[in-house]
Amino acid sequence: MTIDTVKHAETTPDQEQPFRELGLKDDEYARIREILGRRPTDAELAMYSIMWSEHCSYKSSKVFLRKFDESLTDEMRSKMLAGIGENAGVVDIGDGWAITFKVESHNHPSYVEPYQGAATGVGGIVRDIIAMGARPLAVMDSLRFGKADAPDTRRVLPGVVAGVGGYGNCLGLPNIGGEVVFDESYAGNPLVNALCVGVLRTEDLHLAHASGAGNKIILFGARTGLDGIGGVSVLASDTFAGDDGGGKRKKLPAVQVGDPFTEKVLIECCLELFQEGIVVGIQDLGGAGLSCATSELASAGDGGMHVYLERVPLRATGMTPAEILSSESQERMCAVVAPENVDAFMAVCGKWDVIASEIGEVTEGERLVITWNDEVVVDVPPRTVAHEGPVYNRPIERPADQDALVANGPESLARPTEPADVLKTVLTMAASPNLSSRRWVTQQYDRYVRGGTVLAQPSDAGMIRIDEETNRGIALATDCNGRFTKLDPYAGAQLALAEAYRNVSVSGATPIAVSDCLNFGSPEDPAVMWQFERAIQGIIDGCRELGIPVTGGNVSFYNQTGSTAILPTPVIGVLGVIDDVRRRIPTGIGAEAGETLLLLGDTRDEFGGSEWAHHVHGHLGGVPPKVDLARERLLGEVLLAGSRDGMVSAAHDLSDGGLAQALVEACLIGETGARVFLDSEQDAFTQLFSESAGRVLVAVPRSEELRFTDMCTARQLPWRKVGVVDPESESLEFQDLGQLPLGELRAAWEGTLPALFD
């Protein structure tokens, strides 16, 4: 095997290199040559091409993402311990506890290989959390698929769900929530966004630094193989054709294969290493593998780094330096360890049967030097690989058809007016793929492991107790309605933020931070960049108004079915804190004898982008519901006060499907009937199905009703009594319309997904 060394590169400046096949543009390649003052070696080219990819470098989004930091107020900054740019954001939640959380996409691999794509998505985000020095606490997943009854959805969805479950269950992390949404735009490009949340003591925060010359670099976890090499295989086939005795190299799938058992052991091993205090810095190996880990660790430190690549434990023979550097084999971590602690480090790894190898050291100087059997194959300034990649100001243009889309409002859609038709619509909507019970999916996820789960699906938010002594806990919710974002990306992103914020509030927790996963089409399409720019601005302005920072996240571009971009889907995850999880607010009604149902907020005639327009009419047009973030904040404060003073016995956010769906779910989850009184001033259909934002259905014990409504009135939060809970009743009754037996509702709500996917 001939290795392309730095020395060889210096003497062969004109050698053709397959940089275009690796995704580099001509000017990007020229810039690499300028940085190095020569042509890159194969290994260097592999590193730059991966690290300068859209996925790793954020080259199209960087100019926008900078605005997140610039927009932080003192209020927002006050609880942030780490923000965008670290593996995951970290916030202080009091009592010496810190929480780290992040959402990340694994969309494209999940289309190619649903099970492994989803599984390794979970594995990757969990390692991001460990790399902050935290114990992973729970996972959530936000999933989007093509039409529920499309043949390919039957291939993709069961595989993705089994992958999320297969990996997460084996790691021992409760899955506490998420989303499953169907829309035709995701048919050829499902979204698999995985969220992980972890906990640590504030003093134990580990940032990825390679400081201190002489410190050792230790690679530990799984061996490095040929899986997930993807594009870099062109280097092997072009440059090394025939090196293996003429035979073709065995092609391995570009999607990595996960081994959750190895990851579980790796988690426990890392936690013990943190506890022993023998880690200076730590970095996970995810996308871009060692290329990313070594260049990022070296960039973040105060020196250079020397890596001896031949020391990397391999699981394939004949791997080239470029392949080793770009392999995305899963379940690997890289640590920086002081020389005197190496033995102790190895002992902990030995206890957990984790393979660990000292592959290099921190050096004086500013170069990342990688050798292969004493020959230099990489010699680069690490920041140019990790952080100083290209930055693009992509053209932005409002889509030509946006005006037509907005003009085509839902006003002309036929609405049910007869009582029987309205009732039938309640059933139809409850059984629609997007509103029906997610039980078929969530039943495949372990929500109990580790014994801290206080709320999980089908609750609006997941909630985990983090301290058994004090009962302090956290709540999490993820949301996005891509139809709203399509109609108005700015308002749509704010509605996603508002919904996640509200979902955390209805659990009784106080929202404190945001992580986002921005899924969009091609950044080379000016119309997509317009959606992206507007959505980001919406999130930034929204977060300022709500006073909570975005602490991290992920951008995923090039999501399209054929040449059509997906609905713009900025998934927003909101983290909340609750000082005592025993006062959590459940979603189901009927926990206490004699409850009154109140609707908080205003209901307007708002059907643009609604689930009703989508499911019943296949319509998308008009404008999304009005955003009022001050109202969302007020709602949060009222729910918090209600929870603190024991005035609220259940609460459920109103979103897709409106009041009707909220009532159906509150009854079915609580296994209790209710009688609903509609307002004679407004038509029944609008009251039941409008998706006006800023609304919550609450159940209050009759004894607390007056106190609670007085508080709402005093704080100028509109409220209306909409019914009473009736534990004796087996039906959901709408005054003047008729009643629906709970059994019939349950069959409609729970029957849809099993019928489609069993």
Check whether 209 is labelled as a binding-site residue: no
452 binds other proteins (CB under 8 A): yes
CA within 13 Å, CB half, 89: 31
Contact 519, 554 (CB under 8 A): no
Instruction: Closer to other proteins by CB, 172 or 381: give it.
Output: 172
The secondary element (H helix, E strand) that includes residue 732 is strand 731-734
446 binds other proteins (CB under 8 A): yes
55, 206, 209, 614: which is the annotated catalytic residue?
A: 55
Q: CA-CA distance, 579 to 393, in Å (whole number)?
A: 44
Burial 716-742 (b: 16+ CB within 10 A, else e): ebebbebbbbbbebebbbbeebebbeb
Catalytic, 106? Answer yes
162 binds other proteins (CB under 8 A): yes
470 binds other proteins (CB under 8 A): no
DSSP state letters, 703-725: GGHHHHHHHHHHTT--EEEEEEE
* Kind of pairing between the strands at 595-600 and 719-726: antiparallel
Whole-number minimum distance, CB 192 to other proteins, in Å? Answer: 18
Instruction: Closer to other proteins by CB, 123 or 542: give it.
Output: 123
Catalytic, 652? Answer no
Check whether 328 is labelled as a binding-site residue: yes
Note the residue count of the chain. Answer: 758
Range in contact with other proteins (rule: CB under 8 A) among 76-84, 102-110, 162-170, 327-335: 162-170
Q: How many residues bind other proteins (CB under 8 A)?
A: 33
- Using CB under 8 A, which residues numbered 63 to 122 contact other proteins? none
Whole-number minimum distance, CB 259 to other proteins, in Å? Answer: 7
Q: Which of 16, 79, 17, 64 is nearest to 45 (CA)?
A: 17
Range in contact with other proteins (rule: CB under 8 A) among 165-173, 426-434, 603-611, 626-634: 165-173
Contact 256, 357 (CB under 8 A): no
What DSSP state is assigned to residue 224? Answer: B
Whole-number minimum distance, CB 468 to other proteins, in Å? Answer: 8
392 binds other proteins (CB under 8 A): no
- Sequence-distant (≥ 6) Cβ neighbours of residue 120 within 8 angstroms: 106, 109, 167, 255, 256, 257, 258, 330
Range in contact with other proteins (rule: CB under 8 A) among 148-156, 439-447, 565-573, 674-682: 439-447
Q: CA-CA distance, 18 to 16, in Å (whole number)?
A: 7
Q: Single out the residue of 13, 242, 451, 618 in contact with other proteins (rule: CB under 8 A).
A: 451
Whole-number minimum distance, CB 261 to other proteins, in Å? Answer: 3
165 binds other proteins (CB under 8 A): yes
- Sequence-distant (≥ 6) Cβ neighbours of residue 433 within 8 angstroms: 147, 148, 149, 182, 615, 752, 753, 756
Check whether 516 is labelled as a binding-site residue: yes
Check whether 108 is labelled as a binding-site residue: yes
Check whether 256 is labelled as a binding-site residue: yes
Q: Single out the residue of 8, 367, 383, 450 in contact with other proteins (rule: CB under 8 A).
A: 450
Whole-number minimum distance, CB 646 to other proteins, in Å? Answer: 16
Q: Single out the residue of 31, 264, 332, 619 in contact with other proteins (rule: CB under 8 A).
A: 264
Instruction: Closer to other proteins by CB, 352 or 719: give it.
Output: 352
Whole-number minimum distance, CB 676 to other proteins, in Å? Answer: 28
Q: Which of 742, 607, 736, 588 is nearest to 662 (CA)?
A: 588
What DSSP state is assigned to residue 648? Answer: -
Whole-number minimum distance, CB 443 to other proteins, in Å? Answer: 6
**Residue carrying structure tokens 């940085």:** 35
Residue type, 626: K
- Using CB under 8 A, which residues numbered 566 to 595 contact other proteins? 581-582
CA within 13 Å, CB half, 242: 1
Contact 482, 569 (CB under 8 A): yes
Check whether 127 is labelled as a binding-site residue: yes
Check whether 105 is labelled as a binding-site residue: yes
Q: Single out the residue of 203, 353, 418, 469 in contact with other proteins (rule: CB under 8 A).
A: 353
Q: Which of 469, 473, 439 is nearest to 137 (CA)?
A: 473
* CA angle centred on 226, ends 223 and 230, rounded to 5°: 130
Q: Is the Cα dihedral 726, 731, 732, 736 positive or negative?
A: negative
Q: What are phi and psi of 527, to 5 degrees?
A: -70, -40
Check whether 412 is labelled as a binding-site residue: no
Whole-number minimum distance, CB 103 to other proteins, in Å? Answer: 22
* Kind of pairing between the strands at 89-94 and 97-105: antiparallel
Whole-number minimum distance, CB 44 to other proteins, in Å? Answer: 37
Q: Which of 248, 228, 230 is nearest to 240 (CA)?
A: 248
Instruction: Closer to other proteins by CB, 344 or 591: give it.
Output: 591
Residue type, 463: M
Q: CA-CA distance, 395 to 319, in Å (whole number)?
A: 41
Q: CA gyration radius for the chain? A: 27
Q: Is the Cα dihedral 508, 512, 515, 520 positive or negative?
A: positive
Q: Single out the residue of 3, 342, 344, 449 in contact with other proteins (rule: CB under 8 A).
A: 449
261 binds other proteins (CB under 8 A): yes
Q: Single out the residue of 309, 380, 454, 536 in contact with other proteins (rule: CB under 8 A).
A: 454
Range in contact with other proteins (rule: CB under 8 A) among 49-57, 75-83, 411-419, 443-451: 443-451
Whole-number minimum distance, CB 170 to other proteins, in Å? Answer: 5
Range in contact with other proteins (rule: CB under 8 A) among 256-264, 385-393, 613-621, 631-639: 256-264
Binding pattern to other proteins, positions 203-242, x when CB under 8 A? ----------------------------------------
Q: What 3-state class would DSSP assign to 92?
A: strand
Whole-number minimum distance, CB 28 to other proteins, in Å? Answer: 42
**Residue carrying structure tokens 């945001």:** 514
Range in contact with other proteins (rule: CB under 8 A) among 34-42, 313-321, 450-458, 620-628: 450-458
Q: CA-CA distance, 340 to 351, in Å (whole number)?
A: 19
Range in contact with other proteins (rule: CB under 8 A) among 33-41, 78-86, 253-261, 489-497: 253-261
Q: Single out the residue of 8, 33, 38, 447 in contact with other proteins (rule: CB under 8 A).
A: 447
Determine the straight-line distance between the first and last CA of the chain, rounded to whole angstroms.
Answer: 51
Q: Single out the residue of 43, 76, 131, 170 in contact with other proteins (rule: CB under 8 A).
A: 170
* CA angle centred on 185, ends 183 and 190, rounded to 5°: 80
Q: CA-CA distance, 466 to 683, in Å (whole number)?
A: 46
> Does the N-terminal peptide bond of residue 625 adopt cis geometry, omega within 30 degrees of 0?
no
What DSSP state is assigned to residue 245? Answer: T
What are the angstrom distances between the C-alpha of 89 and each of 28, 436, 553? Answer: 30, 33, 8
259 binds other proteins (CB under 8 A): yes
Q: What 3-state class would DSSP assign to 308?
A: strand
Q: Single out the residue of 402, 444, 537, 729 in contact with other proteins (rule: CB under 8 A).
A: 444
8, 106, 209, 617: which is the annotated catalytic residue?
A: 106
Q: CA-CA distance, 235 to 3, in Å (whole number)?
A: 12
Q: Single out the residue of 57, 116, 169, 503 in contact with other proteins (rule: CB under 8 A).
A: 169
Q: Single out the residue of 211, 443, 561, 729 in contact with other proteins (rule: CB under 8 A).
A: 443
Q: Single out the residue of 166, 586, 608, 658 in contact with other proteins (rule: CB under 8 A).
A: 166
Whole-number minimum distance, CB 29 to other proteins, in Å? Answer: 43
- Using CB under 8 A, which residues numbered 171 to 210 contact other proteins? 171-172
- Is residue 705 classed exposed, middle or buried when 0-12, 13-18 and 19+ CB atoms within 10 A define those classes? middle
Range in contact with other proteins (rule: CB under 8 A) among 143-151, 397-405, 423-431, 442-450: 442-450
Site of interaction with other proteins (CB under 8 A): 162, 165-166, 169-172, 259-262, 264-265, 352-353, 442-454, 465, 468, 581-582, 758
Binding site, annotated residues: 58, 102, 104-108, 127-128, 256, 284, 328-330, 516, 553-554, 556
Catalytic residue numbers read: 55, 106
Binding site, annotated residues for Mg(2+): 104, 128, 284, 554
